[in-house]
Amino acid sequence: MTRASDVSPREERTAANDRPIGVFDSGLGGLTVVQELLAVMPAENIIYLGHTARVPYGIKSIRTVRRFALEDMAFLLRFDPKMIVVACNTASAAASEQLEAAGPVELVDVIRPCAAAAAAETPGPIGVIGTEATIASGAYQRAIAELDPARRVIGKACPLLVPIVEEGREISDPIVRYALEDYLRDLKSEGTRTLILGCTHYPLLYDAIGEIMGPDVTLISSARGAAVEVQQRLRSRNLQINSTAPGTLRCYTTDNPERFAQIGQRFGGRRIGDATLVGTDELAGE
């Protein structure tokens, strides 16, 4: 098993455009963002960190999530990335400002692009579903209010959905249907017109959520929004990779690399090769 400390990432500096994009999440879910990034920019190289030893972030305090997110970013900075993507909605909600203030590199979170896409949609209430911490932080609500102060935003925490998705339940499974119907009931009755899927795991439930909400409700995935934002920013800064060959994806995880590789495929839509173990002590800089 290779450890992250064996790889001396600083020795791998390349020309500005060829530097990787760093992506982090609390665990495996952020691979849905990687999947979207590679769909729009297949040649980019990605370094992914999943902090699986600390997952889930969604039931922790803002203060704790903030600390973890700063450690995650510090780890990725060792690879000299051209941009860092905060794939985790909970980390984006809790720590975007602190990460921006602390990081010497451009940062894309999942909340702002998604809020902008939702505010640009049909008038009418916007629903947001996410972890307890994401909804309690009010981050989506604030981001939408900045763009459209009159818009009604209805947040709903859906804590059971992350474990349900990680367990690999099919969307036809009665447990999935029951949980979704229960969580989405109020959003439906309140006339939600646009629904933000504000969690890394929810793209795997996209079709089931769409069926329950009905054809008049537009679904916005935070993963897709972030990928488009990264692409636009790289273009506008002229920082796209100088290659057309398929990019590489290197994954680091703080616990159980075998599980990461095995389950990661479902989230990333591709075979995840060996994930390298990083100790939590190493991440925390101890």
Applying CB under 6 A, the residues found at the interface with ligand DGL are 25-27, 29, 55-58, 88-90, 130-131, 134, 162, 199-201
In the block, tokens 């769409």 appear at 210
Please indicate whether residue 251 is annotated as part of the active site: no
Query: Closest separation between CB of residue 56 and ligand DGL, Å?
Result: 3
Residue that the structure tokens 């979170």 belong to = 109
CB-CB neighbours of 22 under 10 Å: 26
| Cβ distance to ligand DGL smaller for residue 137 or 192 | 137
CA distance 197 to 223: 9
Nearest distance from C-beta of residue 102 to ligand DGL, angstroms: 20
* Residue of this chain nearest to ligand DGL (CB atom): 58
Q: Which entry of 114, 158, 199, 251 is annotated as an active-site residue?
A: 199
| Rounded CA separation 82/106 (Å) | 7
Residue with token string 């990928």: 227
86 has which bridge partners? 24, 109
Q: Rounded to the nearest whole angstrom, what is the least distance from the CB of residue 228 to ligand DGL in the complex?
A: 18
d(CA 98, CA 144): 20
Sorted by sequence, the CB contacts under 8 Å of residue 175 that are 6+ apart come out as 164, 169
Beta-strand pair 218-221/194-198: parallel
Q: Which of 88, 114, 158, 251 is catalytic?
A: 88
Rounded Cα gap, residues 62 and 94, in angstroms: 5
The nearest distance, CB 16 to ligand DGL, in angstroms, is 30
Q: Which is nearer to ligand DGL, 156 or 201 (CB)?
A: 201
Nearer Cβ to ligand DGL (54/82): 54
Q: At what angle do helices 111-119 and 139-147 cross, to 10 degrees?
A: 50
Shortest Cβ distance from residue 51 to ligand DGL (Å)? 8
Among this protein's residues, is 114 annotated catalytic?
no
Catalytic (active-site) positions? 88, 199
